[in-house]
Structure 1
Amino acid sequence: MDAFNQLSIKSLRLLVAVLEHGSFSEVARREAMSPSTVSRTIQQMEQVLQTQLLYRNTRAVVATQAGEMLGVHARRIMEQLEEAAEGLQEKESDPRGRIRINAPVVFAERHLAPWLFELGERYPRLQIELMQTDDFIDPLQDATDLLIRIGVMTDSTLQARTLAQQRFRLVVSPSYLKRYGMPSSPQDLSQHSCLVFKGFAGSQRWFFRKDSDVWQPYSFQGKLTGNNAQTLTQAAISGMGFALFPTWLIGEALREGQLVEALTDYQVSTSLEPQTISALYPNSRRLSNKVRAVIDFLLDKYGQPAYWDR
């Protein structure tokens, strides 16, 4: 414990920066100091802790296991200090500082990117850092302020605000219908080409129900199975078969007539549980002014129901 008491906030901040950028020289440039000063600060930390924090070579520096562990705690300390500073400035009306947002790739392209300019104009003191990935991330370890995630929300370690409900439609192109006709029931789809999403858990099942009946699962096959929703959507538009996707993805194609709804008497989904598009942040953090502002902005822009469902 005595060794940790000798670590300064400045040294921890430099360690986090080196871990993020993988370079003494890059951190030195950003911090307006010499690379040797940055390197010497890390060496002093290693001497105090009596353990190696970084592997050094001519191209980059990489964290050791001890360095990664200390980096996680150092990031939390930096975040807590940042939250404390924000709390002192909470009386100011305009959100300020860097906000780190992580969102799914395609959803961010469709429904975040078009609004970023207006968000920046509304809050000029806000610095937006947007990372796009479909992989799960730990917001505490990855220093993320706000996660946008889609599906069934189950992680109790995160607070959530629902931005929109995720609704599905079974769709097909007019050209496919002209050639093969419209099925009259889910069972009839077995005689058609279905374009099925296949992820790490296998091929997606499609669920159908009429009115308040019990959901019925179906497994279909067709000319194309894949793990990219945009590719499958484009294949459906070109006339390869039926697809079942959320309205935020296919809403534009429906409005433009590139796709039409099929089996409109049925409700459709890819799971038995309700799915949402949600804004998530860690339970351990106070909802900061900047995070609240971004969530409220998105809620205002998406509307109820969301504009892609209108």
Structure 2
Amino acid sequence: MNLANLTLIQDVARHGSFAAVARQRDVDPSSIGRLVAGIEEELGFPLFARTTRRMEMTEAGAHYLARIIPLSEELDRATDECRAMQSEPRGTLRISASATFGQRFVVPRLAAFRSAYPDVAVEGIFSDNNIHLVAERVDLAVRLAPAVAGDYIVSKLMDTRYRVVATPGYLRQAAELKRPEDMAHHRAILFPYRDYRSRWIFRDAAGTVTEQRVDGDLVLSPAGAIRDAALAGLGPALLPDWLIRDDLDHGTLHPCIDGWDVTATTFDTAAWLIYPSRSYLPAKVRAMIEFLRGSSGNRH
């Protein structure tokens, strides 16, 4: 059994169809079917049970897959270790992040990264779904949270802070917005998660915490859509500093309820770099980690 066949079995098991794997590889679906049939003939047992809508793994196929995944990972690790002997990182780096963080923070930095590391190809998976790193073969992920649990290697990329912001034009014609209770006179632009759309938490300089109910008839996601709506003058919004830093610098958004910390969940939040737990860190991943840390303006 060669490495290409091991990878093919895993891809078909993950996607559940020959057609999906064929599209991924830009080949005819019938060629994938012939390859799988040849593998099954070589093994002497069926790997997949075919139905009209989807293929499921047989009991023998599932057992076989569970045994070959560690072997496949070991082969990938051996390849990465050999590549790490080279002076420059190389290969394909799969990086995952939330939709807005990926678009607003990662993508603008890719030109400089590719210039520094021309032998590294980048595949970005930017989605608000919680992607499984191992199943999706993700090398590096960025998660926005107070902390990250699980069997991963985790390091902080940067602390994050939230601000209530609105456009100068909105603030000129709207009610005063200088204290938490002033939110009662505004229709906020809200995020669909429960805490973000029902109440925001404020903390003054003395450490006193106040919970303030927020109301609004505009609920949007991802966070980039909320920023765009705020820039359109549709109301105040609660947004992270990494997303609105340029808007504040250019004056297109203005901070409200200044002098208070604000959050919808907890005041201690961060952007975390995570990758599957393994004893060896490929050079391509190390290069991206150091690059993102350097360009974030924070080092941890």
Q: Which TM-score bucket, shorter chain as reference?
A: 0.7 to 0.9
Which 5+ residue runs of structure 2 have no aligned equivalent? none
**How big is the shift at 1:203?**
2.5
**How big is the shift at 1:145?**
1.0
CA distance in structure 2 between the partners assigned to 1:280 and 1:36 by the alignment: 36
Kindly tell me: are residues 285 and 200 of structure 1, through their superposed partners in 2, closer, same or farther at Cα, counting changes over 3 Å? Answer: farther
Amino acid at match of 2:159: Q
Amino acid at match of 1:299: R
Where does 1:164-243 land on structure 2 (aligned, <5 Å)? 164-199=158-193, 203=197, 205-243=199-237
SS in 2 for 1:224: strand
Kindly tell me: are residues 198 and 61 of structure 1, through their superposed partners in 2, closer, same or farther at Cα, counting changes over 3 Å? Answer: closer
CA distance in structure 2 between the partners assigned to 1:36 and 1:127 by the alignment: 29
Conserved 8 A contact 1:215-1:272: no
Match of 2:84 among 64, 86, 90: 90
Match of 1:64 among 44, 47, 57: 57
CA distance in structure 1 between the partners assigned to 2:148 and 2:272 by the alignment: 11
Amino acid at match of 1:231: A
Conserved 8 A contact 2:83-2:90: no
Residue 95 of structure 2: aligned partner: 101
- 1:265-310 per-residue CA deviation (whole Å, 9 max, x = no partner) reads 111122225111111012245222211111001111222289xxxx
CA distance in structure 1 between the partners assigned to 2:257 and 2:196 by the alignment: 25
CA distance in structure 2 between the partners assigned to 1:229 and 1:214 by the alignment: 28
**How big is the shift at 1:105?**
1.1
Which 5+ residue runs of structure 1 have no aligned equivalent? 1-6
Amino acid at match of 2:271: I
- 1:186-234 per-residue CA deviation (whole Å, 9 max, x = no partner) reads 0121122222212267735311111241432222102323333233222
Conserved 8 A contact 1:28-1:34: no
Structure 1 range deviating more: 202-211 or 252-261? 202-211
Amino acid at match of 1:125: D
Conserved 8 A contact 2:191-2:220: yes
**How big is the shift at 1:71?**
4.6
- 1:83-106 per-residue CA deviation (whole Å, 9 max, x = no partner) reads 122223433221111221111111
- Size of the aligned set, in residue pairs, is 295
Amino acid at match of 1:55: R
- 1:80-131 per-residue CA deviation (whole Å, 9 max, x = no partner) reads 2111222234332211112211111111111111222222222222121211
- 1:138-176 per-residue CA deviation (whole Å, 9 max, x = no partner) reads 212221111111122231311112111111111111122
Conserved 8 A contact 1:101-1:129: yes
Residue 41 of structure 1: aligned partner: 38
Conserved 8 A contact 2:13-2:56: yes
Kindly tell me: are residues 76 and 117 of structure 1, through their superposed partners in 2, closer, same or farther at Cα, counting changes over 3 Å? Answer: farther
CA distance in structure 2 between the partners assigned to 1:64 and 1:214 by the alignment: 57
CA distance in structure 2 between the partners assigned to 1:257 and 1:304 by the alignment: 23
Residue 48 of structure 2: aligned partner: 53
Q: Do residues 252 (structure 1) and 246 (structure 2) align?
A: yes
After the TM superposition, list the runs of 4 or more consecutive aligned residues in structure 1 that deviate by more than 6 angstroms.
27-30
Q: Do residues 23 (structure 1) and 38 (structure 2) align?
A: no
Amino acid at match of 2:57: T
SS in 2 for 1:222: strand
Conserved 8 A contact 1:76-1:140: no
Conserved 8 A contact 1:13-1:74: no
SS in 2 for 1:112: helix
Residue 149 of structure 1: aligned partner: 143
Conserved 8 A contact 1:46-1:53: no
- Return the TM-score normalized by structure 1: 0.82
Q: Do residues 139 (structure 1) and 136 (structure 2) align?
A: no
Amino acid at match of 2:170: Y
- 1:228-268 per-residue CA deviation (whole Å, 9 max, x = no partner) reads 32332222222222111101222232223221001111111
CA distance in structure 1 between the partners assigned to 2:141 and 2:58 by the alignment: 26
Kindly tell me: are residues 98 and 235 of structure 1, through their superposed partners in 2, closer, same or farther at Cα, counting changes over 3 Å? Answer: closer
Kindly tell me: are residues 65 and 301 of structure 1, through their superposed partners in 2, closer, same or farther at Cα, counting changes over 3 Å? Answer: farther
Conserved 8 A contact 1:75-1:141: no
Residue 78 of structure 1: aligned partner: 72
Kindly tell me: are residues 271 and 114 of structure 1, through their superposed partners in 2, closer, same or farther at Cα, counting changes over 3 Å? Answer: same
RMSD: 3.1
